[in-house]
Amino acid sequence: MIVEVKHLTKKFPVGKAYFTALKDLNLSFAEAEFTGLVGPSGSGKTTLLNIIGSLDVPSEGEVIVLGKSVGRLSPPEAALLRKQELGFIFQNYNLLPVYTVFENVEFPLLLLDMPARERKKRVLESLSWLGLSDKVNSRPAQLSGGECQRVAIARAMVKRPRLVLADEPTANLDSVNSHNILQAMLKLNQELKTSFIFATHDEKVIGYLKRIIQLEDGRVAEDRLV
């Protein structure tokens, strides 16, 4: 298993009380899955994604990502896990605005101290996969929403992570761009055996998923293979 979620509960302080976003959740994700966490706003999709991504920690229970319990990782250990094994795709792309497309995609490899020649090869390869070879020197402000999200996917994939976490990746895209993006991710999942976990309530995404986990009020309402 690439991810194991055991009796996970996550509470957030709201004033003097607590809001429970995830309640005693038990899940596991195998390698090369193309899974979606679906459900309405507030169902706990993003919270679960953040904990799997070691950006947040469980209040109770345990989440084991690639053999590491995220709740027990120190900040540098959690950063190392994200740096080496995880890729993130965000709803708002979150590209670094002053960087070119090439530099945005190159950034995770810089953090890995990869040699310059290898970096360049990997970046150009990733951009080629996603049909962005002609946008190498463009800045995010010069790109369309679909192109920005493809850059974000290239950035997430360039280091060949074992797991990619995508939070509402198509929320800001039109139908054509959404399908293009999803096809690109599916291709990467099939060719590189990278696991994808989506948090989404977009029907277009759901159509591509191989496993759907329905969350409702912080609990798993349904977990089915498509």
Partner 1 sequence: MKLFKTALKSLLGNGLKTWLTVFVLSVSFVLIIFMQGLLEGWSRQAVIDAVAWEIAGGQYWSEAYDPYDPFSLDSCARDIPDQLMPAAESGLLEAVLISQGTIYPQGRMQGVILKGIDPEQQIVKLPTRLLAGEGPEIPVIIGAHMAKQAHLKENDLVTLRWRDANGTFEAADLRIAGIFVTTVPTIDNGQIWLALDKLQSMMLRENQASILIASPDYEAQQLEGWLFKDVEELSSNTIAMVKAKSMGMAIFYLIFLLLALLAIFDTQTLAIFRRQREIGTLVALGMTRKQVQWLFTLEGSLNALLAIALGCLYGIPLFIYLSTNGLSFPIDVSEFGLPVSDVMYPYYSLKLIVGTIVFILLSTALVSYLPARQIARMNPTEAIRGKMH
Binding site for partner 1 (CB under 8 A): 46, 50, 53, 55-56, 75-76, 79-80, 82-84, 88, 90, 92, 94, 96-99, 103, 107-108, 110-113, 155
Give min distance, CB of 106 to partner 1, in A.
11
Residue closer to partner 1 (CB basis): 91 or 189 = 91
Round to whole Å and give the CA distance between 162 and 195: 6
The CA radius of gyration of the chain, in Å to the nearest whole number, is 17
Q: Are 201 and 40 in contact (CB under 8 A)?
A: yes
Judged by CB, which is closer to partner 1: 13, or 67? 13
- Minimum CB separation from partner 1 for residue 68, in Å? 14
CB of 162 to partner 1, least distance (A): 14
Residues 6+ apart with CB under 8 A from 34: 185, 186, 189, 195, 196, 208, 209, 210, 211
Strand, coil or helix: 22: strand
Cβ-based burial of 75 (10 A; exposed 0-12, middle 13-18, buried ≥19): exposed
Question: Which C-beta is closer to partner 1: that of 150 or that of 155?
Answer: 155
CB 6 within 8 A of CB 64: yes
In angstroms, what is the minimal distance from the CB of 159 to partner 1? 9
Shortest Å distance, C-beta 139 to partner 1: 9
Give whichever of 39 and 140 is closer to partner 1, judged by the CB atom: 140
- Paired with 178 in beta bridges are none
Q: Which is nearer to partner 1, 100 or 211 (CB)?
A: 100
